[in-house]
Amino acid sequence: MIPESIKCHKPNGTEIRHKNGHYYVYKVEGYYDRDAHKPKSRSLGCVGQIYEGIGFVLSQKKPCAEFITKEYGATRIATRAGVDLFDTLRECFPSEFMRIFVAAVLKLLGNLSAKDIDIAYGKSAISLLLPKVHLSKNTVTDFLFRLSLQREGMLRFMRSYAGCGGGGIIFDGTSFLSGSMCNPFCEKGYSPGHIGKSQIRLIYAYDRAKRQPIYFRVVPGSTSDKTAFETCLDELGGEAFTVILDKGFFSEKNIRLMSGMDFIIPLQKNTSLVPAPLKVFAGYERTLQNNFSYHKRIVYFTELNAGKFDGCRICVYYDCERRQYLMENYFRNAEEKDGSLSEEAAMTVASDTATLGVTALLTSMKSSPRDIYLDYKTRWAVEEMFDTHKNTLGFDMKYETKYETQEGWAFIEFLALLLYHKINGMLVSSGLIKSFNVKDLLFRAATVTQSKASGTWKICNLSKPLKEMFQSLGVSLEVIT
C-alpha cells in the first residue's frame, strides 16, 4: 500500500513501485492490446524516486528531460532519400518498419552502437517525425535479435530492388578481421592480406545501373566466395539480370548455375581454358589487328571458344599501360634497399611478370569484346562501395552485440549504406556532386537545427547558401512538430 504522502508527488504519466522500503517512479505508456481487446500499459523504465518529506527526485542515470535543440538538416536529407525505402520496409516488416528505418538513419548519421542509439534518437528531429520509437539499450538488443531471425523479410526487401535497374549486378565479397571468441562466424580465412587470420566474410551485390547495393549475406570467414555464391543466387534470384563476378567466384559448378544467364567472370592465371602462348603478355603480338581505345590507351584482344562451357566464349585482353603499372609495383616491392633485386626474386622475375597486364574473361554474352571489357571494368563501383562501408562510414563486423544479433546489425548497416548511395544519387542529379561528397553534405547539413523556445519549434542556423543547397536537392524545410 502506497501512502498518500507519497502519491501526491507522483509525476504525470508514471507509476509508483514499492521495493524494499523505497518508492521508485517508472514512466509508463498506454496502448491497446488487440489480442486481449483491452487497454494496457507498458513500463518505459525507472525515472526517479519519491522520498518521504522530500518528494520526487529525478534519477541521475536516466534523465527524462526533453531535448529542446535537435539536429535537423542531415536528418531531413536522409529521410528524404529514404522515402521509397521506408515504404518497402513497411511492406516487409509491418510491425518493426519504423524502428528499422530510424536505426538505419541514425547509423548513417553517426555510426552508433546499440548503447548510444537512444540518445542520438532524442537529439535528432527524427524523434519528432517518427515519435515513440523505443530504442533503449535493452530494447535495441531484443529488437536486433528478433530482426536477425527475419531473413525472409530481408530477402523480400532486397528482391524488390534486384534487377530493377536493368544494368546488371556485380557480386563481390570482403573480409573483416575479428578476434571474437564467441562468434562461430569468426574463422581463419583466405582473403588476400588476411590469410590465416580470424575473420568474417561479407558478400554484397551491387546494381551498377542504379549505383546502389541491393543484397548482402554474412558468411563464416573460411567460406570462399565461390562456395557462398549458390546460396546468394538462390536468395536473390537471377533470371532477369546480367551477373558480373570476380575470379574468386569461379568454379565449374557456378558456371553451370548461371546457364541461361548473361554473365562475365575472369579466369585464373593458371586456367587450362586459355592456350599457354596467349596467357602471357607476349601473346598480344598475335592480336595487333584487334584493338580498341580505353581511357585513351590501346587494349588488344583475341577471342576463343570456351570449350566445355557451351554457349560461352573467352575474350583475352592485353593492356600495355596496365602492365607497366603492375611491373613498377612488382619491382618496387621486390627490390632491396640498394635498388637491386634479391637473388631469389631475380630467379623468378620472368615467370612472375609474364602474365601481368593480361585479363581473360569467360562470358555468355553476345556483345563485342570491347563492350564486354567495359562492362567488366564497372566492377570498380563495388570496390568503391566496400571502401565507403569500411572507411568513409566506418562500418565493420566487430559488432559489440552478440552473434545472435549479427544479422540484424548487418541489415541495419546495409540499409544505411543504401541510404548513402541514394543521397549520392541526389547529389549527382542536382549537380552538387561537383561541390560535395555525401559525408561533406551531411556534415554541413547537420549545422541546421530545430529548437524549441516559448513552446514553439523553429528552424535555426539556415544560411542562404544552405537554403539553396536544400532546394537544389529537393528537400523541404518545414518545421516538424
- Confidence (pLDDT) at 232: 93
Give the torsion through C-alpha atoms of 460, 464, 466, 472, to 10 deg: 130
- What's the mean pLDDT in 440-454? 94
Task: Look at residue 240 in the predicted model and tell me its pLDDT.
Answer: 65
Categorize the per-residue pLDDT at 62 as very low, low, confident or very high, splitting at 50, 70 and 90: very low
- Give the pLDDT score at 401: 53
Contacts (Cβ under 8 Å, ≥6 apart) of 287? 300, 301, 302, 316, 318
Domain boundaries, the chain: 4-58, 260-370
107, containing H or E segment = helix 97-110
In angstroms, the CA 368 to CA 225 distance is 28
The total of other beta-carbon atoms located within 10 Å of residue 474's CB is 10
pLDDT per position as a tens digit, 277-315: 999 999 999 999 999 999 989 999 999 999 889 989 999
DSSP annotation of 340: P
Asked if residue 64 has pLDDT above 50, the reply is no
Q: Assign 3-state DSSP to the chain and report helix, strand, coil percentages, each to 5.
A: 40, 25, 35
